[in-house]
Structure 1
Amino acid sequence: MEYTLSMTFLTAMGVKSTLSVSGIKSTITDAEANALMDLIIAKNIFITTTGALSKKESAQLAERKVTKYDLA
């Protein structure tokens, strides 16, 4: 299984912006997701066309199953 954490923030202008990180462990907790979002806001690394990420809106963990086929 592959897991992706999608984090939605509000920018300085109040517009929603989503950042997704794949390869997340399936056991990530609410506290860990919150801490990651707080760190992203505090470090102010990501700037959008509507300003810096300034507030947490939501987060969700998505699970995706990938089946590879042998095409020999």
Structure 2
Amino acid sequence: MDMEYTLSMTFLTEAGTKASLSISGVKSTVTEAEVNALMDTIISKNVFKTNAGAFVKKADAKLTAKNVTDYSIA
């Protein structure tokens, strides 16, 4: 059994709506400071666009852990 981690980040857009971005395969040791720095970089680089405009502010972030069990099927 393996643990998989997904980082879900929510941003406010130029139109004032929320937009989410998720990254799978994140290390379990990611820190709050690293997540804040990543979100700041995403906003400052302005590489993601939505129908509601660019990301302009951080709203929320969550690290989710999921147990994964692989079975050998013969």
Band the TM-score falls in, shorter-chain normalisation: over 0.9
C-alpha displacement of 1:17: 0.4
Unaligned runs of 5+ in 1: none
Unaligned runs of 5+ in 2: none
- TM-score w.r.t. the length of structure 2 is 0.95
Quote the RMSD (CA, aligned, Å): 0.5
Query: Separation in 2 of the partners of 1:54 and 1:47?
Result: 11
Query: Separation in 2 of the partners of 1:64 and 1:35?
Result: 24
- TM-score w.r.t. the length of structure 1 is 0.98
- Answer 1 or 2: which has greater strand percent: 2
Partner of 2:33: 31
Query: Separation in 2 of the partners of 1:35 and 1:29?
Result: 10
Runs of 4+ in 1 over 6 A off after TM superposition: none
* Pair 1:7 & 2:9 matched: yes
**Number of paired residues?**
72
Q: What secondary structure sits across from 2:35 in the alignment?
A: helix
